[in-house]
A and B are shown apart, each in its own frame.
Chain A
Amino acid sequence: MKEAIELGLMALVLSDMALLGIGLLSTCIRIVAFQGVLLGLFSVAVNWGFLTPRVWILAAVSGLLKGVVYPLLLRRAVSDAGVQREIEPYVGPIPSVLAGIALFGASVWIGGRLPLTGAAEAGSRLIVSASLMTLLTGLFLVAARKKALTQTLGYIVFENGIFAFGVASVGEIPALVELGILLDAFVAVFVMGIAMYHINREFDHLDADRLNALKG
């Protein structure tokens, strides 16, 4: 199972890199959906050997939400709001990928220093690094992209990172916490969808940078 987990982790890191480098909105949504499915499989793989119905249900729910429901909602937001297809970054694709490499370096270093026993049991220390990388990528996306929609995307990636970290560090136990976070994210997508819709209606664009009208 260890090989499969490591393979999954590599895929997770690569998908983060892809998110940083790709400029097309619909592709980004697809990658985030892929991450969601991956994380669903991931929670099964980590608990391999003592699979309870609860693990299956948790994995199925999270995979379904992150892999199917969010992408659908986001797509609908894109078509409803008539957003352009480009992501309009503040930081271009090449610098973003370079920043991603730096973030990965930092994640590996932190992963080496964090005293987590759960990670070792789950098979690989890489799991901490990969989840940190996903978390930081999410934050980077929130900070470096112009549109409110890409920020939602960044938020979901950030949440994926937290999920992976939770699976890595404690395994099955924090199920309730996880479900709580999932619910938060669900509400967040919902609210942000509505908010974006309103922003679009009121100001005719979805750029969060116009918020500087509120600057004191």
Chain B
Amino acid sequence: MIPVLAAFAVLLASGVTPRLFRPDSGFGRRVGPAGVVIAAALTLIPACRVLAGRTPIREAWPWPMPFGSFAFHLDPLAAFFLVPIVVLSALSAWYGPDYFGGHDPGRAGRSWLPFNALVGGMIGVCLADNALFFLLAWETMALSSFFLVAFDHREEGVRRAAFIYLVAAHVGTAFLLPMFLSFANAAGTADFAAFSGSLSGPAASAAFVLAVIGFGAKAGFVPLHVWLPDAHPAAPSHVSALMSGVMLKTGLYGLIRTLTFLGVPNAWWGWTLIAVGAVSALIGVLFAMAQRDLKRLLAYSSVENVGIICLSLGVATVGRAAGLRPVAFLGFAAALVHTVNHAAFKGTLFLAAGSAVRAAATREMDRLGGLSRRMPFTAAVFLAGSLAASGLPPFSGFFGEFLLLSGLWRGVTEADPSTAVSMAGAASVLALVFGLSLIVYVKAFGVSFLGSPRSDAGSDAVESPASMTVPMAALAAFCVLGGLAWAALFRAVIPAAAGVFGPVPLAETADTSEWLWKIAAVSGLLVLAAGCVALLRLRRGRPAVRSSVTWGCGYGPATARMQYTGSSFVQPATELFGFVLGTRKNVRPPAGYFPAGRRFETETPDMSREKLYRPLLAAVSRLFSRIRAIQEGRLQVYVAYMVLTLLTLLLWMLR
């Protein structure tokens, strides 16, 4: 635990330092991210040792807080979440200083305090072995990320997004508090070590529901995801990468940790998770398709991927409840593998999107375009991330989906008929989601990077500096070589899964890892072949390009506005799912022989915000506006209210 404590100290010191010195100096701008990189390296040491099979570490220091203790527990599960968290934190931090560039250097330097607090909070959440310590780390994480989302607080939209995020985060915590209290009440202590098996029957089910809502608000389960599509675009890109890539996962980690306390699950818990996951995945991917803002699209795609992970957890829970160990193992392995993959490819995509957005000064996909010529490296990285995110075979994103589908298939073949039918249903929903996510990423990459530029800033874009491209490349490499990586890394999944759902059948793991090796071999060959082809082409040199006027069919110069836009590309699919999306169109077609004005606008507001939260909050606000009757506006009257209340209570107590 010493390296982890040292990491906390480094994070704190390097976060505070820019405030003590000049935050706009070169040192002030770089000391924060340097601290994150050092802390990440320090944390990786024990995490990798535990993943490699050393005994889990459990240590505690007293804390003079009632029920509190600084209890750390580094088991394979925590280590499995910890590794992507610290790696992505380090890469995002590396990317950060130059992303800010000339952007108000003083404020950029100061922003490392919340950034480092966010990293520390996430490490704390993974390692906490005490409910109070966990909640402290949880709140540190929520508050520091709030400050990061509010970085560009001079913009009205950013302030609103940050506020919605703050409210959502605290609503989540409001559900976690009673859950932890009920555990602590039953166990007699707030240490996680005593929590397992302390609740049973309806109390356990209640704790499960509270955990799904409380942790789901952080992870972004539909309909608790409303903060996500606003907060991610509002935050600076390396923060979005961190929040989307790993901060959402702390919610999933909390949920899994709670499942370990609850012992053998009920089948309906699993079905709940499957339903929530399927809805999140489907809604997420559909709304991602309809977005015009590149980062908002990626945010909705995070909702989709969190949904897939939640569905995997559901499959694992159903399998555990039904005693189908292979199903439980495959589902859980899928959840863990996809967690890491999503951290990698969403980190890649957000960092690459940040690079593009910074160069072209807009997030609107319909004003981007043609960036692959001007920023070939960023485009290649975004392409790698997109391929992984679409779940195409040789790339990393495929592996989680492969494990999940094979888990579902085992369920379909081995479980009782009704379970089998439901699992087949879940598999078909997933197939739809995977197909749609391909459309999403073809749109995201094609519209933003291919074609010709749609704005002046886009045509003047230049490639980002190496300090930004190197972290992007590192993540992209994992996306591309994921096939080889997972075959080798799969051993690390087994102890983490065993910690949650009991011992894993040996035959199953051997079988799965054999499959992974086979896929890895094929994908390795594919990557090799592609590399050879690329090398050959490079050696042959670029073919000569001659530009001349083509036969114009009677119409003059083609302009960039004649390209497919993002909305027009996905129109067939959005029309098909119009009943879910509720896309608003504002069309004024050209009329007459010499049409003067015409316009076409589409907007897809978030469904749950429009249909669920707006009416709900309006009703709450109506209810409470009745209290205005006693609002007098005079200080004296408020004091009188207080005096009367206190006096009444005192008299009533002594009655």
Contacts and interface: CB of A to CB of B under 8 A. Distances in A.
Contacts of A145: 636
25 contacts: A90-B636, A106-B651, A110-B654, A113-B654, A114-B654, A139-B643, A140-B643, A142-B636, A143-B637, A143-B639, A144-B640, A145-B636, A146-B636, A151-B635, A208-B635, A208-B636, A209-B634, A209-B635, A211-B633, A211-B634, A213-B633, A214-B633, A215-B631, A216-B628, A216-B631
A113 B633 CA distance: 36
A208 B634 contact: yes
B647 interface: yes
B651 A209 contact: no
B65 interface: no
A136 interface: yes
A210 to B, nearest CB: 9
Contact of B636 (A106, A109, A209): A209
Given A106-B647, A106-B651, A143 B636 contact: yes
Contacts of B650: 110
Contacts of A144: 636, 640
Closest 9 CB pairs of A and B: A215-B633, A212-B633, A143-B640, A113-B654, A143-B639, A139-B643, A208-B635, A142-B639, A143-B636
Interface string B600-643: 00000000000000000000000000001001111111011011
B654 A212 contact: no
Contacts, number: 47
Nearest to B628: A216
A139 B640 CA distance: 8
A136 B635 contact: no
Nearest to B637: A143
Interface SS of A by simple majority: helix
Interface in A98-151: 106, 109-110, 113-114, 136, 139-140, 142-146, 151
Nearest to A114: B654
Contacts of A209: 634-636
Interface in A62-95: 90
A110 B631 CA distance: 30
Quick one: which of B637, B639, B647 has the most chain A CB within 10 A? B639
Contacts of B636: 90, 142-146, 151, 208-209
A119 B651 CA distance: 19
B543 to A, nearest CB: 70
Interface in A184-211: 208-209, 211
A214 B638 CA distance: 13
A152 to B, nearest CB: 12
Given A106-B651, A110-B650, A212 B634 contact: yes
Quick one: which of B628, B631, B654 has the most chain A CB within 10 A? B654
Nearest to A214: B633
Given A139-B643, A216-B628, A211 B654 contact: no
Contacts of A208: 634-636
Given A109-B654, A216-B628, 15 more contacts: A106-B651, A110-B654, A136-B647, A139-B639, A139-B642, A140-B643, A144-B640, A209-B634, A209-B635, A209-B636, A211-B633, A212-B633, A213-B633, A215-B633, A216-B631
Contact of A110 (B637, B642, B651): B651
**A: contact size bracket:** 20 to 34
Interface of B: 628, 631-637, 639-640, 642-643, 647, 650-651, 654
Contacts of A146: 636
Contacts of B639: 139, 142-143
A144 B643 CA distance: 11
A139 B654 CA distance: 20
Contacts of B632: 212, 215
Nearest to A90: B636
Contacts of A140: 643
Contact of B643 (A143, A213, A214): A143
Nearest to A144: B636
Contacts of A110: 650-651, 654
Contacts of A213: 633
Nearest to A154: B639
A180 to B, nearest CB: 19
Contacts of B631: 215-216
B486 to A, nearest CB: 58
B647 to A, nearest CB: 7
Nearest to B655: A113
Contacts of A106: 647, 651
A128 to B, nearest CB: 12
A99 to B, nearest CB: 11
B203 to A, nearest CB: 37
Nearest to B625: A216
B636 to A, nearest CB: 5
Contacts of B633: 211-215
A142 B643 CA distance: 10
Interface string A21-38: 000000000000000000
B624 to A, nearest CB: 11
A142 B631 CA distance: 18
A114 B653 CA distance: 10
Quick one: which of B631, B637, B643 has the most chain A CB within 10 A? B643
A130 B601 CA distance: 74
Contacts of B634: 208-209, 211-212
A144 B635 CA distance: 10
Contacts of A113: 654
Contacts of A139: 639, 642-643
A216 B628 CA distance: 8
Nearest to A139: B643
A144 B631 CA distance: 17
Quick one: which of A143, A211, A216 has the most chain B CB within 10 A? A143
Nearest to B636: A143
Nearest to A213: B633
Nearest to A140: B643
A173 B647 CA distance: 27
A114 B651 CA distance: 10
A114 B654 CA distance: 7
A137 B654 CA distance: 20
Contacts of A151: 635-636
Nearest to B642: A139
Contacts of A215: 631-633
A212 B631 CA distance: 10
A184 B637 CA distance: 24
A24 B642 CA distance: 27
B158 to A, nearest CB: 26
Nearest to A146: B636
A136 B642 CA distance: 11
Contacts of B640: 143-144
Contacts of A143: 636-637, 639-640, 643
B638 to A, nearest CB: 9
A113 B650 CA distance: 11
A136 B643 contact: yes
A103 B598 CA distance: 76
A34 B642 CA distance: 27
A212 B651 CA distance: 31
A166 to B, nearest CB: 17
Interface in A136-188: 136, 139-140, 142-146, 151
